[in-house]
């Protein structure tokens, strides 16, 4: 019986592994150049940690288990709660602002679909202990910095930015009680995902007053900051805050990627201020990434009130988009080796192994064939493995000489073995 892989998971054969490594290397490089330091936590945590503030959607998608001591655990569906827990644990010792990044492997029991799996990798960048809009802008800048680096332009993707604080101010001004806000966010978050009449119907079920529903729909269709003046006070902190974030992004040179979109509310319950998602311009795919400000999470986890803002980007939609744009294959580094060591017959097999090991000890990547086949076959193997050079060991070895073939030019020269060894050592 052949055992199938588990639904929603992926096997990474070497070609898929090359893609995964290239994506993750890019995330790490851009994090470091934007001043973030790497951290990680455990793959499973106490179940209750994800039930505190992540929101119903994530809780319904948990993979949970019970350990031998009867403790309820869950595989991490996101790393933000772990980050809050870790920072709280050392809150006094850590100098602020904290700028950390991580690339966790995450698990969500979602219905597998295009761009959404049950196991995936997610790049996280977070800034903790800084409430200035410049920190929100820096998170968005770093996100765009990566997406730009891999060849995506403002014609391919847009950062849609909104503010939960602005939304809360407006909903409260319409007479909606504060304790109802969270359930309304869940509905408003679906605006861009549902047909307009279905969305209106669901909203009307929550809010019986039709004129209030109308006003919310009008607010949700605003598409520029100046238009907001008809809905909220221009001097309000929420208005000034989002304006400042967008101005900062202009100043940072990524304004053409960014726009205000009140349809972005986000599914997670802990966001308190600026929220954003990156989407493909054609709107054919799920969100490439999402994030925002979560100023209460550390306090909700038993720590002091420390502000935070950050972002998470999965590898799945990103890979689909890059493939669709023809940007993936050409950027993947080719796996290659420095040397392939071959020989003309069995008599030189031991020397072949010896030379290979010497090359490896000197820090070069080198390979040889287990079976001594015809030289032409070994040379074919060398080019299949993308070897830069091929060593050929034959009868000249009796005179302490071996041939070195440059695989790119085809040029071959006979060199003294001792000189060759001293060359590779230096
Ligand atoms: P999230 O919106 O749940 O946010 O996920 C962020 C991104 O992770 C999504 O936009 C998508 O790229 C990827 N993602 C989510 N679920 C899946 C899935 N089932 N399969 C593949 N990719 C997926 C968070 O996780 C927040 N913790 C992000 C954050 C960090 N906010 C502040 N700091």
The per-residue pLDDT for range 302-324, each reduced to its tens digit, is 999 999 999 999 999 999 999 99
- For the stretch 106-161, pLDDT in tens is 999 999 999 999 999 999 999 999 999 999 999 999 999 999 999 999 999 999 99
311 Cα to the center of ligand 1, angstroms: 8
78 Cα to the center of ligand 1, angstroms: 7
Q: What is the mean pLDDT of the chain?
A: 95
Model confidence at 53: pLDDT above 80: no
Closest ligand 1 atom to residue 318 Cα is 12
312 Cα to the center of ligand 1, angstroms: 5
Q: What percent of the chain has pLDDT over 70?
A: 100
Kindly indicate the confidence band of residue 192, based on its pLDDT and cuts at 50, 70 and 90: confident
Q: Whose CA is nearest to atom 2 of ligand 1?
A: 290
- Classified by CATH at the fold level, domain 14-330 comes out as BirA Bifunctional Protein; domain 2 (3.30.930)
How much is the average pLDDT of 59-70? 93
Ligand 1 pocket test: pick from 190, 273, 312, 316 the residue with the most ligand atoms within 8 Å of its Cβ: 312
Identify the sign of the CA torsion 67, 56, 305, 84.
positive
How much is the average pLDDT of 179-197? 90
63 Cα to the center of ligand 1, angstroms: 16
Q: Whose CA is nearest to atom 30 of ligand 1?
A: 311
More confident residue, 41 or 54: 41
- For the stretch 360-388, pLDDT in tens is 999 999 999 999 999 999 999 999 999 99
Model confidence at 42: pLDDT above 90: yes
Q: What percent of the chain has pLDDT over 90?
A: 92
Task: Locate the domains of the chain by residue range.
Answer: 14-330, 337-425
Kindly indicate the confidence band of residue 208, based on its pLDDT and cuts at 50, 70 and 90: confident
Model confidence at 279: pLDDT above 90: yes
Model confidence at 425: pLDDT above 90: no
Any residues with Cβ below 6 Å from ligand 1, and which?
Answer: 78, 80, 108, 110, 116-117, 120, 122, 124, 126, 268, 287-291, 310-314, 316-317
Write down the CATH number for the domain with range 337-425.
3.40.50.800
Q: Is 260 left (phi over 0), alpha (psi -120 to 50) or beta?
A: beta
């Amino acid at each position: 019986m052949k055992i199938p892989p588990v639904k929603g998971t992926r096997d990474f054969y070497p070609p898929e592994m090359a893609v995964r490594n290239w994506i993750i290397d890019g995330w790490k490089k851009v994090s470091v150049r934007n001043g973030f330091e790497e951290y990680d936590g455990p793959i499973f945590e106490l179940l209750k940690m994800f039930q505190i503030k992540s929101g119903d959607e994530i809780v319904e998608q948990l993979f949970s288990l019970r350990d031998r001591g009867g403790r309820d655990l869950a595989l991490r569906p996101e790393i933000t709660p772990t980050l809050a827990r870790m920072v709280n644990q050392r809150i006094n010792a850590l100098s602020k602002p904290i700028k950390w990044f991580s690339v966790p492997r995450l698990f969500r029991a979602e219905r597998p679909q295009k761009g959404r799996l049950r196991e995936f990798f997610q790049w996280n960048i977070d800034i903790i202990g800084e409430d200035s809009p410049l920190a929100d802008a820096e998170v968005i800048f770093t996100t765009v910095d990566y997406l730009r680096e891999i060849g995506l332009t403002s014609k391919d993707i847009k950062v849609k930015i909104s503010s939960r604080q602005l939304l809360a101010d407006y909903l409260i001004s319409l007479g909606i009680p504060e304790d109802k806000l969270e359930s309304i966010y869940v509905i408003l978050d679906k605006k861009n995902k549902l047909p307009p009449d279905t969305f209106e119907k669901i909203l009307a079920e929550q809010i019986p007053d039709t004129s209030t529903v109308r006003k919310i729909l009008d607010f949700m269709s605003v598409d520029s900051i100046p238009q907001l003046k008809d809905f909220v006070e221009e001097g309000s902190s929420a208005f000034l805050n989002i304006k400042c974030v967008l101005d900062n992004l202009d100043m940072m040179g990524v304004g053409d990627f960014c726009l205000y979109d009140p349809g972005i509310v986000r599914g997670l319950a802990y966001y308190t201020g600026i929220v954003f998602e990156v989407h493909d311009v054609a709107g054919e795919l799920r969100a490439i990434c999402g994030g925002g400000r979560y100023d209460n999470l550390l306090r909700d986890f038993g720590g002091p009130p420390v502000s935070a803002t950050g972002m998470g980007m999965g590898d799945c939609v990103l890979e689909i988009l890059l493939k669709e744009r023809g940007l993936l294959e050409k950027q993947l580094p080719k796996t290659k080796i420095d040397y392939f060591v071959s020989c003309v017959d069995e008599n030189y097999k031991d020397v072949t192994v010896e030379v290979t090991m010497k090359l490896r000890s000197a820090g070069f990547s080198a390979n040889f064939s287990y079976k001594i086949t015809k030289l032409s076959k070994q040379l074919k193997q060398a080019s299949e493995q993308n070897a830069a050079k091929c060593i050929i060991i034959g009868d000249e070895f009796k005179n302490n000489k071996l041939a070195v073939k440059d695989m790119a030019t085809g040029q071959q020269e006979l060199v003294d073995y001792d000189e060759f060894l001293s060359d590779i050592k230096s």
